[in-house]
Amino acid sequence: MRIDPVLTTEEINYFMKEALVEARKAEAIGEVPIGAVIVQGGQIIARGYNHREIDQKATAHAELLAIEAANAVLGSFRLENTTLFVTLEPCVMCAGAIVNARIPQVYYGADDPKGGAVRSLHQLLEDSRLNHRVDVHTGLMAQESGRLLQQFFQAIRLRQQARKIAQRKK
Amino acid sequence: MRIDPVLTTEEINYFMKEALVEARKAEAIGEVPIGAVIVQGGQIIARGYNHREIDQKATAHAELLAIEAANAVLGSFRLENTTLFVTLEPCVMCAGAIVNARIPQVYYGADDPKGGAVRSLHQLLEDSRLNHRVDVHTGLMAQESGRLLQQFFQAIRLRQQARKIAQRKK
């Protein structure tokens, strides 16, 4: 299957690095570090990073925010000829938003064994009964994406342990 | 399983009628007529109706808009002790948003055999691997919800036929 646009390996790596830049923006504000960019015609047209805690908004995932930004940029709910790059495997909600926005191609980094809806728990982007199918590429810069998440959760655990020790000393 | 809050039959019917009021707001602006309300403590705390075409926004489904409004009202991404009423079976995206928002109870009207992700195509709200489960009640005022949708699509087909006849006469 030929997907429009066809991206070079260099472009693919560049755009995933930009998704990682977005993930680090989430990390910097204490959010689970997940980032996304949407590309059309070789250009990034929209970006997003996880905002759930700060906004206290269940829908503020990187992919959903990037999709909404791209809808606004293109003035269309249909994101034809676009590619979504995201550092973590999308959840059910974001997989559904990818289908609703008719995104034809997705690259993601690390698998999410607990909530991934593209390969791990469900294969929602390959469901022939839905009115849209997506060309999915997995594992791109998975180590870097995964490391960001591991470090984030490790830091949380360390802070929790430090708090417990401090409380015991009181 | 006891779900908090427990609603009376009278309340359940009242809130689904309010979801239908929202669906008719969508119909009035030419959108596919789907509406939703979210209830907590016996009160409607948020409402939403389909806005996809007017906003050209892939995520502007009734449920998602109601969830975001409820997040803002409660100042929390967790919609604990709430019930969502929606006139049509949620799609994949909205089912995922219901899980992400930890909504414990959902009532919906008509089944959606083409895109329903709660009973028809997938059973995403019953997946024990996700970190949240939902008590689902189906078929409430399904005829009325379905009739609204049928009339909407019938009107579109009639307009298309009238346009074709008018073009032939030119």
Identify whether B56 is part of a domain: yes
Does B3 map to a domain? no
Answer yes or no: is pLDDT of A3 > 90.
no
Tokens of B88: 């049509």
Say whether A97 and B122 touch across the interface (CB within 8 A): no
Assess whether B10 carries a catalytic annotation: no
**Confidence grade of residue A1 (pLDDT, cut at 50, 70, 90):** very low
With a cut of 0.85, is the ipTM above it?
yes
Q: Which of A53, A97, A115 faces B58 most closely, judged by CB atoms?
A: A97
Measured in residues, chain A has a length of 170
Query: Helix, strand or coil for residue A147?
Result: helix
Give the distance, in angstroms, between the CA of residue A66 and the centroid of all CA atoms in the same chain.
Answer: 9
Residue B88 lies in a domain: yes
How do residues B18-77 score in pLDDT, each as one tens digit? 999 999 999 999 999 999 999 999 999 999 999 999 999 999 999 999 999 999 999 999
Whole-angstrom Cα distance, residue B112 to residue B103?
20
Q: What is the pLDDT of residue A2?
A: 46
- Total structural domains in chain A? 1
Mark out the alpha helices in B56-141 (DSSP H runs). Answer: 62-74, 92-100
The letter for the amino acid at B145 is: S
Task: Kindly state whether residue B118 falls inside one of the protein's structural domains.
Answer: yes
**Closest alpha carbon within chain A to B79:** A58
What is the model's pTM? 0.94
> Can you give the CATH number for the domain in which B37 is found?
3.40.140.10
Pairwise CB contact (< 8 Å): A58 & B102: yes
Contact assessment for residue A66 and residue B91, using Cβ atoms and an 8 Å cutoff: no
Q: What is the mean pLDDT of residues A39-47?
A: 96
Contact (CB, 8 A) for B106 and B89:
no
Banded model confidence at residue B5, pLDDT cuts 50, 70, 90: low
CB contact under 8 A, A97 and B59: yes
For residue B93, what are the domain limits?
A: 9-169
Does residue A158 lie in a domain region? yes
Q: Which helix (H) or strand (E) holds B105?
A: strand B105-110
CA-based nearest residue to A46, from A8, A116, A118, A103: A103
Q: What is the pLDDT of residue B120?
A: 97
Q: Look at residue A2 and tell me if it is in a domain.
A: no
CA B144: distance to chain centroid? 13
Catalytic residue among A18, A63, A68, A144: A63
Rounded to the nearest angstrom, the gap between the alpha carbon of residue B80 and the centroid of all alpha carbons in its chain is: 18
pLDDT digits (tens, 9 = 90+) for A74-126: 999 999 999 999 999 999 999 999 999 999 999 999 999 999 999 999 999 99
**pLDDT beyond 60 at B4:** no
